[in-house]
Structure 1
Amino acid sequence: MPELILRLPTRQPPARGLGPVATDVRAGLYGPLEHLFQTGRAAEIAGLGGVLAPDDPGGEEPWTVAAGALRHSRHLRVVAEFSPSFATPVYAAKVSATLQRAAGGRLGWRVAVGGDPAARAAQGDTVTGPDAFRRAAEFLTAAKGVWHQRPYTFEGDFYRVLDGGFGHPLAGHPFPTVYLSGTGEAELDLSAEHADVHLVRFGADLDAVRAALADRASAHGREVRLGVELSLSVRQTGRDDGPPEGVTGHWDGFAGLGHTVPEGLVGTPDELAAELDRLAGRGVDTFVVEATPALPEAYRLGEHVLPALEALAAREASGAR
């Protein structure tokens, strides 16, 4: 059964109030991030595997969102997306060790490498091209080193760690699950050495990516799981907030709905489950899903798509015996 991870909205809907009708001078019952935490709770209640707190330069800070989502849930995996420019690998590892202690090992990392150079520069990050991938490799090497070894020393071009490493109470917790992405040579090389899950966009050549990744990962004595990032819309009658009528199956127009991921699937729960099951049959075990509006879509995915997907998996398992 593949895991579904819901992408949290990067920006909150406008606040709704009573306007000039009435004024409540008390502090608000719900803080400005409550909508995001409600979406995370909906994903957990609905039975989804996790949520992703995206790295959006114009949106909420992903580590803060991830920490809140972990605090507001009991079983949900929460993935924080960030660039290596966020912090030193030692500080990122220390923050994560504390979160792992507090949340029972449910934190994941999605390390964002590359992207629009202008957008990165606006965030103070001017490392681009091959250097960005070399820095990411050093970041992950050093972060894992201080996590698992003490004392630990690392000498690189971007980072130096001298006699580092964690003791009590930070030592001994599981390192965050690492998600990386892309189809280029540099992306695949980085994932082969460091990723637990390698993500590709919907529509990528899965067979080619899987073969190339397996060859590279075997050189490091590792195996890397394969995931797909896509948008989903559960087609139901009486909805006016989804794709236009008549759109079904594969659709690349999700950007028009405000999605970050433009490619994805539109269909009934059974149709979506069949497509996800088909991809699972090709070695995909993780789906990072964008759906709008995220909170009600979390419930639709859990109440309608997951049961259909579980039924397909059960039928296939019984047929294989």
Structure 2
Amino acid sequence: MTTFLITLPTRDNGGRGVRAELPGFVTDPRAPFGPFDHLLNAGRAAELAAFDGALLPFDPWGEESLVAAGSLLRQSRWLRVAAGFHPGVATPVYAAKVSASLQRFSGDRLDWRVVVDLDPEVARAQGDFLEGADRYARAEEFLTVARGVWTQEDYSYEGRFYQVLAGGFLSPLAGRPFPRVYLSGTSPQALELSARHADVHLFDPGDDFEGSGLRDVTYGLRLPVLVRDDDEEAWRAARRLWLRGGGTEDTLPELDPDTGLWNGFPGPGLVGSQESVAARIRDYVDRGIGAFVLEATPYVEETYRLGERLLPLLVKENAHVR
């Protein structure tokens, strides 16, 4: 079954919902607009739109994804939430314990989006000074230890980066399903790590996923999309998106005739009518993609739009959605 996730924000909404100040003699009965309110509205849209799940990406300058995931899981009934994080932010035992607690109260709806490679400056700002192959060696140990304490009593491990002596979860944390693990990357080290630990390996449009050689792992695709009722309207919206982002008319990207992708997003993606975008997604399904992480902004409005206009077409085309 093909699954569809939507990417949601882990930082505040840049001022949306900020209320104008009123004179001191006026009482404002309206509740304040909190930092997670926009996330919860977007999550509600994802659930109502029948997405299988939501991805909260690791954002070094945004909210902590596991905390945001707990908030989103709390207010939803069946939406799965993949929390993005970096192995350097916590020990695998602590990350597993937090996640087992989240599984308990959410009905086992938490997944992990583990980010291994970071820009060196960003990594150092997070207190992580590992580089090169050591990042993948640590991620290997991180996932091994996390799964070990999750599934075994009296678990011990000794490696380069982590040591555990007679660990492992007991009741009430024991017995929950381990989170689905999302990994990414096209290097040999990234693919080897996914072959051993991933449930889903995320590719970007243009990556040679068919030649990756992964077995027993679902191929996923991170895919920015812009969908409208017809192609002409979609390209007008793409132009506005480009200009709002600081681009100019002279630098407006053209559609790549070879790939059918538009490079005006942060990464290549699809622009067009819901019928044309659905057809392109079905092509990816036929080529072996089993999970899509769609990206579209503004989050709430576009999540509803995709649920109303795009996902029903994919159901008709037998790319099954929950």
| SS of equivalent residue, structure 1 residue 36 | helix
User: Does the 8 A contact of 1:90 with 1:142 survive in 2?
Assistant: yes
Deviation, 1:236, is: 3.8
**CA RMSD of superposed structures (Å):** 2.1
Tell me which residue corresponds to 2:161: 158
- Which of the residues 169, 173, 180 maps onto 2:172? 169
- Which of the residues 173, 184, 198 maps onto 2:201? 198
Q: How does 1:1-321 map to 2 (within 5 A)?
A: 1-11=1-11, 12-22=13-23, 24=27, 28-209=31-212, 212-214=213-215, 223-236=216-229, 242-244=237-239, 249-255=260-266, 262-313=267-318
Partners in 2 of 1:283 and 1:75 — Cα distance?
26
Gaps of 5+ in 1: 215-222, 256-261, 316-321
User: Does the 8 A contact of 2:69 with 2:81 survive in 1?
Assistant: yes
Identity %: 48
Aligned length: 299
Partners in 1 of 2:319 and 2:186 — Cα distance?
32
Partners in 2 of 1:56 and 1:88 — Cα distance?
19
Structure 2 length-normalised TM: 0.87
Tell me which residue corresponds to 1:217: none
Gaps of 5+ in 2: 241-252
Code of the aligned partner of 2:217: V
Partners in 1 of 2:201 and 2:234 — Cα distance?
34
Q: CA 1:24 to 1:230, structure 2 compared with 1: closer, same or farther past 3 Å?
A: farther
Deviation, 1:61, is: 1.5
> For each residue in 1:209-264, what CA deviation from the matched residue of structure 2 results, as whole angstroms up to 9, or x when unmatched?
2xx212xxxxxxxx111101110111247789931189665101113xxxxxx111
Structure 1 length-normalised TM: 0.88
Deviation, 1:3, is: 1.1
> For each residue in 1:107-156, what CA deviation from the matched residue of structure 2 results, as whole angstroms up to 9, or x when unmatched?
00011001201111011111121000000000000000000000100000
Deviation, 1:28, is: 3.1
Partners in 1 of 2:120 and 2:29 — Cα distance?
44
Q: CA 1:66 to 1:310, structure 2 compared with 1: closer, same or farther past 3 Å?
A: same
Tell me which residue corresponds to 1:219: none
Partners in 1 of 2:131 and 2:147 — Cα distance?
23
User: Does the 8 A contact of 1:232 with 1:266 survive in 2?
Assistant: yes
> For each residue in 1:88-116, what CA deviation from the matched residue of structure 2 results, as whole angstroms up to 9, or x when unmatched?
11110000101001001100001100120
Partners in 2 of 1:84 and 1:129 — Cα distance?
14
User: Does the 8 A contact of 1:206 with 1:282 survive in 2?
Assistant: no
User: Does the 8 A contact of 1:147 with 1:165 survive in 2?
Assistant: yes
User: Does the 8 A contact of 1:247 with 1:266 survive in 2?
Assistant: no
Q: CA 1:239 to 1:283, structure 2 compared with 1: closer, same or farther past 3 Å?
A: closer
Partners in 1 of 2:239 and 2:121 — Cα distance?
33
Deviation, 1:4, is: 1.1
Deviation, 1:72, is: 1.0
| SS of equivalent residue, structure 2 residue 214 | helix
> For each residue in 1:168-206, what CA deviation from the matched residue of structure 2 results, as whole angstroms up to 9, or x when unmatched?
000000000000001110000000000000011011112
User: Does the 8 A contact of 2:282 with 2:319 survive in 1?
Assistant: no
Partners in 2 of 1:174 and 1:314 — Cα distance?
26
Tell me which residue corresponds to 1:220: none
